[in-house]
């Protein structure tokens, strides 16, 4: 057996972000030495006695310098989103991961936990309680999942006796300090732009940020060359999936907002998405299109996942169930409002 997780010096890329910061906090609570690597500065992490370094992941020499002297890496940093230049996603998500892998190899780092995404497997079809045997998609409607799929493949192929690797795929992360998922959902609803796509009965897995972060801590604890999880990818989510539109409307109701009743057939939403994408590319228009084909399919299809492999191989146990996590979310949103 190698070093215990608490004895490792761990670098977390994207340590100042939503998920990265929660991972850093959990590691520090366990007494782990942590180095955060981000493009910005984060005094709140320094207050936790975290060593903070600034680096752009697309800069190979900067990444090598930032990872010098650590025992393990949790690679969370990524460019996320459903719209943007393909080159921007590839530079951060693919080239950045290549640079992290090269630094691990040249510096003898033994463990790499990579934050992937279930979208690497999303092929536009329903996936119900999908397990680890679900293959990565072959075609993509957005550069984000494409770049993450290519990077995930590199990470898992790099698994060896010299560098143990594992990929985690947390799905739709929400919770306190969420800057993305729920705030954008509420903004769209407030502006009257949110519509039910499809029949409204699709089943979706969500992930509270504490559960997502804890899965990364469990991965560090379980990962070493030859471990059951080495070279594998795992879905991460809350055990109980939800009917997406029922959950959204319950959330809106608890916040005193109007539920979403308007519906759009999936075929029409996909057509509208294709037209918007073409318009934004040709004109080009600023900001993001109001709908894309990828978003239409994500809002209409089922995508839920099986936790059994994560629990079996990483010793993971859920920290917040769905009811508790949702109640916490509502309380947090009410406080912030």
Q: What is the DSSP string of 227-253?
A: -TTTTEEEEE--SS-EEHHHHHHHHHH
Overall residue count recorded for the chain in this entry: 337
Would residue 144 show up in a list of annotated catalytic residues for this protein?
Answer: yes
% helix, strand, coil for the chain, step of 5:
45, 15, 40
Is the separation of the CB atoms in 274 and 289 below 8 Å? no
Please name which of 277, 268, 262, 259 lies closest in space to residue 297, comparing C-alpha atoms.
Answer: 268
Per-position b or e across 132-153, b if 16+ CB within 10 A of its CB: eebebbeebbbbbbbbbbbbbb
What is the pairing mode between strands 203-204 and 242-243? Answer: antiparallel
Catalytic residue among 42, 114, 144, 316: 144
**Cβ neighbour number for residue 221 with a 10 Å cutoff:** 16
DSSP assignment letter at 129: E
How far apart, in Å, are the Cα atoms of 165 and each of 64, 78, 158, 220, 230? Answer: 18, 17, 7, 10, 5
The SS3 of residue 298 is helix
**Residue numbers annotated as active site:** 144
């Amino acid at each position: 057996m190698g070093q215990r997780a608490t004895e490792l010096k761990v670098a977390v890329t994207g340590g100042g972000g939503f998920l990265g910061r929660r991972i850093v906090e959990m590691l520090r609570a366990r007494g782990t030495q942590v180095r955060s690597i981000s493009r910005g500065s984060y005094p709140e992490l320094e207050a936790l006695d975290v060593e903070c370094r600034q680096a752009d992941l697309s800069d190979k020499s900067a990444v090598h310098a930032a990872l010098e002297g650590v025992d393990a890496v949790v690679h969370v940093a990524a460019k996320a989103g459903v719209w943007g230049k393909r080159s921007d996603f590839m530079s951060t998500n693919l080239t950045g991961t290549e640079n992290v892998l090269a630094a691990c190899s040249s510096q003898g780092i033994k463990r790499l936990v990579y934050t992937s995404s279930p979208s690497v497997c999303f092929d536009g079809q329903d996936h119900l309680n999908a397990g680890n045997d679900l293959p990565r998609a072959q075609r993509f409607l957005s550069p984000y999942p494409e770049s993450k799929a290519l990077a995930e493949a590199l990470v898992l192929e790099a698994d060896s006796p010299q560098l143990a690797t594992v990929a985690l795929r947390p799905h739709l992360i929400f919770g306190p300090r969420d800057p993305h998922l729920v705030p954008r959902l509420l903004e769209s609803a407030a502006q009257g732009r949110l519509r039910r796509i499809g029949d409204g009965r699709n089943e979706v897995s969500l992930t509270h940020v504490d559960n997502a972060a804890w899965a990364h801590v469990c991965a560090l604890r379980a990962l070493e060359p030859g471990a059951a999880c080495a070279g594998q990818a795992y879905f991460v989510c809350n055990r109980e999936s939800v009917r997406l539109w029922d959950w959204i409307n319950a959330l809106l109701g608890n916040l005193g907002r109007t539920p979403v009743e308007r519906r759009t057939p999936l075929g029409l939403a996909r057509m509208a998405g294709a037209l918007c994408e073409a318009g934004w590319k040709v004109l080009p228009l600023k900001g993001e299109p109001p709908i894309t084909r990828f978003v239409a399919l994500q809002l209409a299809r089922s995508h839920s996942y099986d936790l059994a492999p994560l629990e079996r191989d990483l010793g993971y146990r859920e920290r917040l169930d769905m009811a508790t996590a949702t109640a916490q979310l509502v309380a947090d949103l009410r406080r912030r409002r």
